[in-house]
């Protein structure tokens, strides 16, 4: 499978290199890597997780927080669902705001009782990390010069450096859970991979504040001034977003300016209930749709953000990563316990069918809810007409709800 990657220049062939062997080497200690490690450990499969950042850095990343049922079930299967069920906020619907009025999408009624849960990705990562530590399973943090080798052979290897010491891990498989900028996808020969990408001409300005949420469920707002999202992390912590041009600088957005603009994009009732306060985190995130094909290269597999990125509008990123991990964990378990390659051979195709469905929904929802200046005033009218159809059509509303709560794992199979 292509040409294997040569050793990093930081390494030598010195006999002092420390070597070890595991069944699976997992690159990346974000939620996908930690979840995979937890599922494998509970099945008796030996896995080492290697992360280039520090534990505090990993936990400090503020990300999405809407979990589909599939993800909740996986966290339960991994034995880390207790705090999620205790502290997570179950949502049976969400509001779509356009032309100054809110309309509720009743997820439970439209999908036969399905719900989502608001529980921050940071908390998911913390729960998985704590469980791994409690079980005495090893994670290498602050690893430098991580490189993958010979993944097109039966004897893949991972090399890294910690504290000036060089390490080499021999393994049966490599799981690339190291994100969009990680080493795994970057190490695949260019002729063996196809990348699809759409970069949107705007970003999300996000603010996290210790204030009560403006509403008990999420509000997705389509406004002539641009998109807004009212979200939450708990009953006392809120997360808000504004669509802004990519040229905007963070320093030009004071807290006061943010709250003033948010009010202008909300309906009167939401404005009246909005509680403002100092931001405890503020950032501008670009939006992109990105997919890599395939997701398997010999004995190396990509999962989560290493293989695909979705705009956050549909809350699919973490949930897609969890689905990848479910498929990959099952495939590896089948290989080690049943000596079957069927799961690993079908991993990429199985994941990508689901990935493209989620990418389509996220692209569509983003296109529907955001302001595209190049489309002019008629573009806004088209969006409002489609939104009006969706909330007054049982079929339209059901399609939105089914995609939002997450299509069944066996949907269309």
Question: Are 120 and 317 a contacting pair, CB within 8 Å?
Answer: no
- Active site amino acids: 91, 220, 312, 316, 404
DSSP state of 271: H
Closest CA to 37 of 202, 171, 216, 194: 171
With b meaning 16 or more CB within 10 Å and e meaning fewer, what string describes 132-152?
beeeebebbbebebbbbbbbb
| Interatomic CA distance for residues 355 and 363, integer angstroms | 12
Biggest CA pair distance of the chain: 70
For 208, the enclosing helix (H) or strand (E) is strand 194-209
Residue 316 pairs in a beta bridge with none
With b meaning 16 or more CB within 10 Å and e meaning fewer, what string describes 232-259?
bbbeeebbbbbbbeeeeeeeebeeeebb
Cα 15–chain centre separation: 40
Residue 18 pairs in a beta bridge with 167
């Amino acid at each position: 499978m292509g040409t294997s990657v040569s050793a990093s220049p930081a390494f030598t062939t010195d006999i002092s290199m420390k070597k070890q062997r595991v069944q699976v080497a997992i690159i990346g200690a974000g939620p996908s890597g930690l979840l995979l490690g937890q599922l494998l450990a509970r099945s008796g499969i030996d896995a080492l997780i290697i992360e280039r950042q520090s534990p505090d850095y990993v936990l400090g990343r503020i990300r999405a927080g809407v979990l589909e049922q599939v993800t909740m079930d996986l966290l339960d299967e991994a034995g880390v669902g207790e705090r999620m069920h205790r502290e997570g906020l179950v949502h049976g619907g969400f509001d779509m705001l356009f032309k100054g009025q809110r309309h509720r999408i009743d997820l439970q009624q439209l999908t036969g009782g399905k719900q989502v849960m608001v529980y921050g990705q940071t908390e998911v990562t913390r729960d998985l990390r704590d469980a791994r530590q409690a079980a005495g399973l090893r994670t290498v943090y602050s690893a430098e010069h991580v490189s993958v080798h010979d993944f097109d052979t039966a004897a893949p290897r991972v090399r890294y450096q910690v504290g000036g010491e060089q390490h080499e891990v021999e393994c049966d498989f490599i799981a690339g859970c190291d994100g969009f900028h990680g080493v795994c996808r970057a190490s695949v020969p260019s002729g063996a991979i196809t990348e699809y990408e759409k970069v949107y001409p705007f970003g999300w300005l996000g603010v996290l504040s210790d204030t009560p949420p403006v509403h008990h469920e999420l509000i997705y707002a389509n406004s002539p001034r641009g998109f807004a999202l009212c979200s939450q992390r708990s009953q006392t912590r809120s997360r808000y977003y504004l669509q802004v041009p990519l040229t905007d600088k963070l320093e030009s957005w004071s807290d006061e300016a943010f709250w003033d603009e948010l009010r202008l994009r909300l309906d009167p009732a939401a404005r009246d209930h909005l509680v403002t306060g100092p931001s405890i985190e503020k950032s501008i995130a670009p939006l992109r749709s990105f997919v890599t094909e395939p997701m398997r290269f010999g004995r190396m597999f990509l999962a989560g953000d290493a293989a695909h990125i979705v705009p956050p509008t549909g809350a699919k990123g973490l949930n897609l990563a969890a689905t990848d991990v479910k498929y990959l964990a099952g495939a590896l378990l089948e290989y080690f316990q049943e000596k079957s390659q069927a799961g690993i051979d079908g991993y990429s195709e199985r994941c990508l069918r689901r990935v493209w469905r989620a990418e389509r929904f996220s692209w569509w929802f983003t296109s529907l809810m955001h302001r595209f200046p190049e489309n002019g005033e008629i573009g806004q009218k088209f969006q409002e007409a489609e939104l009006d159809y969706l909330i007054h059509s049982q079929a339209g509303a059901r399609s939105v709800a089914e995609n939002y709560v997450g299509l069944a794992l066996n949907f269309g199979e």
